[in-house]
């Protein structure tokens, strides 16, 4: 199943809650949010039913996201349901705060891999950036991943000029000890990033310049199919990634879509509208009817949100705060990042 740019649908990010226990300044900086109504949230059985349809249409990678997914009660039960499906990859992205208490249950349930967000190694910076004093819990969560038996762990770092741009080397060195591959993510102007400004973006080019100055020659590696991060190797074989969504978008190979916790399906992080899968599912649509709904939408997909944004002159935050307050679906934390 290919879209109008001949991109397949392989990757589904499922947000299991729009709630988060942090308030990172690049994602959820506001004091107040409008939350999705609880009655609208998909049950685990509904998510599992939808994943069956997506798997039949070619999805073989599923990532659970939020908000913060570990705030969803009994998440390992959903993992157990999804782990029984023919997926190549079943992963979780978490901010790590609650991870240490759940990591063994997640492993036992069949979760494949974990990515933890970690923007800084300094507790004071973490508190200032996330507006919460949770840094020790995050580090404890990261430390619990390998002993629980997980491999292929990743650390996601949003690289911000003037905030953590002096920690690139320290984070890579920390990643070696976990062990985890660090991926630096350029600051994106998606919904929720209400304080985004071009000068706050630490570009991929600048990151590579700084890392080369420290480590010596850096070798680009062949990219995994459709993976958002370009991967690189240091002279000693340590690898790291850069997700350069802002300065060098990778929309041309984008095979991912996003399901919100209330069952809206977004074909692009920048899409203004999602396709409501919840209502037809609750109204009794058959597997074939749901498959047709999804297929028709994917065939018509022409989204290249980050490429379109790059072409904008005088770039400002993508969605103004007033619009975000009217429709929480425009928020990145609702779409699962
Ligand atoms: S901006 Fe949209 S099309 Fe481009 S990579 Fe991101 S989700 Fe995919």
pLDDT reading at 2 higher than 90: yes
pLDDT score for 323: 84
The predicted model gives 190-197 an average pLDDT of 83
Q: What is the pLDDT of residues 240-267, one digit of tens each?
A: 999 998 999 999 999 999 999 999 999 9
CB neighbours of residue 215 within 10 Å: 16
**Residues 6 or more apart whose Cβ sits within 8 Å of residue 49:** 281, 287
Ligand 1 centroid to residue 140 C-alpha, Å: 32
Ligand 1 centroid to residue 293 C-alpha, Å: 21
* pLDDT above 70 as % of the chain: 99
251 CA closest ligand 1 atom index: 4
- 133 φ, ψ (degrees, to nearest 5): -95, 65
The predicted model gives 44-57 an average pLDDT of 98
Nearest-CA neighbor of 319 among 159, 188, 198? Answer: 188
What is the CATH number for 270? 3.20.20.70
pLDDT score for 225: 66
Within a domain: 5: no
CB neighbours of residue 83 within 10 Å: 15
Q: What average pLDDT does the chain have? A: 94
Within a domain: 243: yes
Alpha-carbon distance 11 to 58, whole Å? Answer: 9
Nearest-CA neighbor of 169 among 105, 122, 117, 213? Answer: 213
Helix axes 204-215 and 168-177, enclosed angle (nearest 10) = 70
Ligand 1 centroid to residue 249 C-alpha, Å: 8
Ligand 1 centroid to residue 112 C-alpha, Å: 24
Look up residue 259 and give its two tokens.
Answer: 């399901």
Please tell me the total count of domains within the chain. Answer: 1
Q: How is residue 43 annotated by DSSP?
A: P
Within a domain: 225: yes
Q: What is the pLDDT of residues 107-144, one digit of tens each?
A: 999 999 999 999 999 999 999 999 999 999 999 999 99
Is 295 labelled a binding residue? no
Ligand 1 is surrounded, with C-beta below 6 A, by 249-251, 254, 268-270, 303-306
pLDDT reading at 183 higher than 90: yes
Alpha-carbon distance 177 to 180, whole Å? Answer: 8
Q: In this predicted structure, which of 31-45, 77-91, 150-164, 313-327 has the lowest mean pLDDT?
A: 313-327
CB neighbours of residue 202 within 10 Å: 25
Within a domain: 6: no
Q: What b/e string do you get for 142-173 counting C-beta neighbours within 10 Å, with b at 16 or more?
A: bebbbebebeebbbbbbbbeebbeebbeebbe
Q: In this predicted structure, which of 26-30, 50-54, 292-296 has the lowest mean pLDDT?
A: 26-30
Query: Ligand 1, atom 2: nearest CA belongs to which residue?
Result: 268
Confidence of residue 30 (pLDDT cuts 50, 70, 90): confident
pLDDT score for 317: 79
305 CA closest ligand 1 atom index: 1
Is 63 labelled a binding residue? yes
Ligand 1 centroid to residue 245 C-alpha, Å: 8
Within a domain: 202: yes
pLDDT reading at 212 higher than 70: yes
pLDDT reading at 227 higher than 80: no
Is 33 labelled a binding residue? no
Within a domain: 2: no
Is 251 labelled a binding residue? yes
Residue-number span of the structural domain to which 149 is assigned: 11-335
Within a domain: 152: yes
Within a domain: 273: yes
Query: Ligand 1, atom 5: nearest CA belongs to which residue?
Result: 251
Q: Is 232 left (phi over 0), alpha (psi -120 to 50) or beta?
A: beta
């Amino acid at each position: 199943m290919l879209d109008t740019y001949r991109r397949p649908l392989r990757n589904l990010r499922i947000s299991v809650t729009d709630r988060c226990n942090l308030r990172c300044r690049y994602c959820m900086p506001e004091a107040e949010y409008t939350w999705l109504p609880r009655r609208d949230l998909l049950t685990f059985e509904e998510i599992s039913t939808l994943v069956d349809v997506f798997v039949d249409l070619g999805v073989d990678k599923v990532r659970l996201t939020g908000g913060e997914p570990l705030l969803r009660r009994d998440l390992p039960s959903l993992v157990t349901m999804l782990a029984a499906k023919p997926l190549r990859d079943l992963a979780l992205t978490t901010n790590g705060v609650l991870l240490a208490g759940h990591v063994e249950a997640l492993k036992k349930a069949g979760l494949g891999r974990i990515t933890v967000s970690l923007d800084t190694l300094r507790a004071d910076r973490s508190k200032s950036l996330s507006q919460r004093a949770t840094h020790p819990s995050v580090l404890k969560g990261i430390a619990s991943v390998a002993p629980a038996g997980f491999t292929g762990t990743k650390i996601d770092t949003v690289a911000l000029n003037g905030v953590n741009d002096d920690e690139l080397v320290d984070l890579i060195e920390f990643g070696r000890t976990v062990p985890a591959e660090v991926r630096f993510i350029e600051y994106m102007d998606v919904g929720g990033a209400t304080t985004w400004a071009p000068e706050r973006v630490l570009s991929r080019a600048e990151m590579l310049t700084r890392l080369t100055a420290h480590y010596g020659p850096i070798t680009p590696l062949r990219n995994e199919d459709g993976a958002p991060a370009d991967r690189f190797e240091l002279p000693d074989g340590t690898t790291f990634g850069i997700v350069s969504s802002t300065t060098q978008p990778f929309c041309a190979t984008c095979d991912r879509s996003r399901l919100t916790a209330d069952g809206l399906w977004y074909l692009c992080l920048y899409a203004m509208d999602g396709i409501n899968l919840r209502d037809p599912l609750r109204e009794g649509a058959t597997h074939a009817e749901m498959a047709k709904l999804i297929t028709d939408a994917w065939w018509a997909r022409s989204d290249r949100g980050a490429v379109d944004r790059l072409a904008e002159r005088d770039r400002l935050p993508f969605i103004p705060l007033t619009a975000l307050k009217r429709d929480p679906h425009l928020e990145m934390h609702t779409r699962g990042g």
